[in-house]
Amino acid sequence: MTRVLLTTTSFQDTPGIHHEMLEAAGFEIVRERGPLPESRMLELAGQFDAYLCGDDAMTRAVMEKSLPRLKVISKYGIGLDKIDLASAKDLGLPVLFTPGVNHTTVAEHTFALLLAVVRNLVVEANHVAAGRWTRITGNELCGKTLLLVGLGRIAKEVAVRARAFGLKVVVFANHWDEDFARWQGLERVETLDEGLKLADFVTLHTKLTEKTKGLLDARRLALLKDGAVIVNTGRGELIDLDALVAAIKSGKLRYGADVLDQEPPPADHPLLGLAGVTLTPHIGSRTHESVQRQASCAVENLTRFLAGKEPIARAV
């Protein structure tokens, strides 16, 4: 019987048709609570025919120890930065993923974070819960400028919602969709620096690569207007952490994020408890609707591949 390691917690914790699909496949399922570090993956490596994974550490060492038994990695989600794709390709190990399943959900969460920051929603709700009627003056979105970094599926959904809020939207992106930009009235900036100078709000929707790691460093953060807001639903490592913390502490900017450089963060992580910061525990795609789409796609990818059929989407 095909033995599969299932690690993604949102898959396991959210009811839906994906559970029926996985049961119908007839696999032997071993469940762990991910994301798993390399040390744990190395302990498990070599015992499975397939991984149905989230953001677990899929390093070359893990892959090498997993072979020859391991036949495929089926990624739940679209982010592939935790998987060493170069090593997977070198080792001939297929990697499947699930594009196009969470753009609506993550775009909605992007606005939830933006509104939470500009209207001090978490702070104010906590005041009231504690019996304090403390009122803080916030900001409107309407009439402000939003910089989108990236123009993929999620960024496009953010752009549509931004226009409804009365925001002017400028975009820095390598990929440009002229028809969509014209339809939504988007303005393209040629450099990230140019966009940062214009922005009241910045939302990050680009992949984490060696080129984008630390994309927003101290020099670029200094280009932002005082009081600007950055919302990060991409990856924590897109921003230089030390520079970000310094800018927040100085009052230069405010920050809303669903992602961190370490997940879950250590108790002494410098962003925890910092004034002007709203953090959520990587739940941007964790809605009942999105989880079922992602999980069903990941299971279908896996079952199709193991049956010798073409999967829905393959990265390697």
Domain with CATH 3.40.50.720 in the chain: 3-101+287-306, 103-279
Q: How confident is the model at residue 155 (pLDDT cuts 50, 70, 90)?
A: very high
Q: Is 114 helix (H, G, I), strand (E, B) or coil?
A: helix
Per-residue pLDDT tens over the stretch 50-100: 999 999 999 999 999 999 999 999 999 988 999 999 999 999 999 999 998
- pLDDT above 90 for 5: yes
Residue 173: strand, helix, or coil = coil
Give mean pLDDT, residues 224-237: 97
| Rounded Cα gap, residues 252 and 181, in angstroms | 30
Catalytic option among 282, 286, 293, 300: 282
Which SS3 state, helix, strand or coil, does residue 106 take?
helix
* Amino acid at the residue 272: L
State which H helix or E strand residue 206 sits in.
none
Rounded to 10 degrees, the C-alpha dihedral 287/289/294/297 comes to 170
Task: Name the CATH superfamily housing domain 103-279.
Answer: NAD(P)-binding Rossmann-like Domain (3.40.50.720)
Predicted confidence at residue 58, as pLDDT, reads 98
Q: Any catalytic annotation for residue 178?
A: no
Given the residues 153, 220, 235, 286, select the one marked as catalytic: 235
Tell me, what DSSP letter sits at residue 239?
A: B
282 is catalytic: yes
DSSP state for residue 225 in the 8-state scheme: P
Q: pLDDT tens, 122-138? A: 999 999 999 999 999 99
Question: Closest by alpha carbon to 225, among 169, 147, 304, 121?
Answer: 147
CATH code given to domain 3-101+287-306: 3.40.50.720
Whether the pLDDT of residue 297 is over 90: the answer is yes
Query: Residue 287 has which token pair?
Result: 């809605």
